[in-house]
Structure 1
Amino acid sequence: MKHNDLFTIEYQLHGEPKSFIVRASQMNNAEAWHWASCDAGVAIIPKFGRNALKRVSRPMAEKYGITQVRWSSAAQIQWAEGLT
């Protein structure tokens, strides 16, 4: 079975619901808050292979109006072949 590395992150920015899908090797609450901050334009998107970047924490993200961050594995896409 293939490991799913796509995650859906949902959050609110100043009360407006937002969501997106991100590819990551792992996901937890701290990572989800950082990625929501990236999507909102608050944090810097990390470059591949560089872990020295400072992550945005939940308290810092909340100062910029980011709330209710939730994440889950993205649904696997079932491609149908042969359809015309």
Structure 2
Amino acid sequence: MKHNDLFRINYELHGEPKSFIVRTTRMDNGEAWHWASCDAGVAVIPKFGQQKLKRVSKPMAEKYGITHVRWSGAEQIQWTEGLTQ
């Protein structure tokens, strides 16, 4: 069974839509809010294996203008799509 560790996160920063893809071993709503805060420059990007880092919560992120955070598994890239042989 293949495990997808790529996730797309969509959010708004002061009303402007933003989107990015992050590679991580797990994703949930709390993680998505933290990663959106990292992308917006509000939070610290965790180093590999760093567990003691304080996460940015939804209420704290909203104070910095981050809203409407949504996440989903990123689609797999089809490298051979459209190639003729």
TM interval, shorter chain, is over 0.9
Give the Cα separation in 2 of the matches to 1:11 and 1:50.
25
Identify the residue that residue 47 of structure 1 maps to in structure 2: 47
Count of equivalent residues:
83
Q: Which runs of 5+ in 2 are unaligned?
A: none
TM norm structure 2: 0.93
Give the Cα separation in 1 of the matches to 2:66 and 2:50.
25
How far the C-alpha of 1:36 sits from its partner, in A, is: 0.1
Identify the residue that residue 32 of structure 1 maps to in structure 2: 32
- Percent of aligned pairs with the same residue? 80
Give the Cα separation in 2 of the matches to 1:21 and 1:51.
21
CA RMSD of aligned residues (A): 1.2
SS at 2:34 equivalent: helix
Does 1:17 find its partner at 2:34? no
TM norm structure 1: 0.95
How far the C-alpha of 1:78 sits from its partner, in A, is: 1.4
